[in-house]
Amino acid sequence: MRLMSFPTTRPRRLRSSPVLRSLIRETELTARDFILPLFIRPGKGEKRPISSMPGHFQYSVDMAVKAADLAVREGIPGLILFGIPDKKDAKASGAYADNGIVQNAVKAIKDKHPNLLMIADLCFCEYTDHGHCGVVKDGKVLNDPTLALTAKTAVSQAKAGFDVIAPSGMMDGQVAAIRKALDGAGHGDTPILAYAAKYASAFYGPFREAAESPPSFGDRSGYQMDPANFNEAMREVALDVEEGADMVMVKPALPYLDVLKAVKVRFGLPTSAYQVSGEFAMIKAAAANGWIDERKMALESLMCIKRAGADFILTYYALEAARWLA
């Protein structure tokens, strides 16, 4: 592209009125872009605030249905569920139990809202007593033994009524294991949203309180990616695509827009980004101090994530942003 130079060209001409600015705006944000994460806990009538994520709660199944009502009312197309099980153990039994916590929640929500897209986060850190995302032996997270549980969990989630399975454990081969298991169990039409490039990020801090899932020893850098790496993210996405991912995700979002952009351009797949708990909490905390304009900053962040290449965004701002945009 060649431009005439100043004074022939004056970019400010097109910024001179709201109607012109709106006419040439390249990206539009709507409630249809958002997926709302919900945390499900045991019990009845429970709605426990998550202190580091104002406006978010751990819901019992009955209360989660009410939260889903709100999402539907605001035009949010889908939810992603995280479970806090009754009991945690070494085998993550709660993740694939027939009456597991998210299995029960999806049934109740689908009952009332059959058209709401229900996404299952598939990971074990909320279900293991050690808080790691896989089977642990001698202080190591074992890859291949974890895949057997991954396969079982995917089938259990699809059977319970989830529309999309989203593996976030960062085990090698997890997408292939899920595809094979789903196909073998008659769920060949259930798509996989792969957390393809998921970084070992400090931005997950508040989530670990919300999901009661911090690792009891070490950290997740033996399976999640090093924030320093870009090329490795391209390899991770390529592998997931080859294994059968229908959609991919980059996580976190805002600090990784270079990765997001490249994934969208190189692979051309439906691509999502997860604006994670820490990204949300930072805006909330700064707003609580009166340091920034929350609404403007949240919408700007979401707009930039979409501009960089996200077809949809998993965000704790889903409800608020939908209201602001309405």
Catalytic residue numbers, as ranges: 198, 251
Q: In sequence order, what are the beta bridge partners of 315?
A: 275
Beta-bridge mates of residue 87: none
Near ligand PBG in 66-105, by CB under 6 A: none
CB neighbourhood size of 185 (10 A)? 16
Query: In the complex with ligand PBG, which residue's Cβ is closer, 35 or 160?
Result: 35
Q: How far is CA 23 from CA 26, 27, 30, 305, in A?
A: 9, 11, 17, 21
- Binds ligand PBG by CB under 6 A, chosen from 39, 204, 256, 312: 204
The conformational region for residue 131 under phi > 0 = left, psi -120 to 50 = alpha, else beta, is left
207 interacts with ligand PBG by CB under 6 A: yes
List the Cα angle 238/277/168 in 5-degree steps: 30
Q: Per-residue x/- mask for ligand PBG, residues 104 to 123, rule CB under 6 A?
A: -----------------x-x
**Closer CB to ligand PBG, residue 234 or residue 282?**
282
How far is Cα 307 from Cα 315, in angstroms, rounded to an integer? 15
Among residues 60 and 277, whose Cβ is nearest to ligand PBG? 277
Buried/exposed 291-303: b ≥16 CB within 10 Å, e otherwise: eeebeeebbebbb
Does the protein bind ligand PBG through residue 272 (CB under 6 A)?
A: no
Residues 231-270 that bind ligand PBG (CB under 6 A): none
Which residue's entry shows tokens 């050690």?
A: 130
277 binds ligand PBG (CB under 6 A): yes
In the complex, least distance from residue 168 CB atom to ligand PBG, rounded to whole angstroms: 4
What binding mask, one character per residue, do residues 137-176 give for ligand PBG by CB under 6 A, x or -? -------------------------------x--------
According to the binding rule CB under 6 A, does residue 125 interact with ligand PBG?
Answer: yes
Is the peptide bond prior to 191 cis by the omega test (within 30 degrees of 0)? no
Note whether 50 and 209 are within 8 A (CB). yes
- State how far the Cα of 25 lies from the Cα of 248, in Å rounded to an integer: 26
Taking the complex as a whole, the smallest distance from the CB of residue 254 to ligand PBG amounts, in Å, to 12
Residue 197 is a binding residue for ligand PBG (CB under 6 A): no
192 binds ligand PBG (CB under 6 A): no
Cβ proximity to ligand PBG, 204 vs 312, nearer residue: 204
Q: Does 59 interact with ligand PBG (rule: CB under 6 A)?
A: no
Give the binding site for ligand PBG (CB under 6 A).
121, 123, 125, 133, 168, 204, 207, 220, 276-277
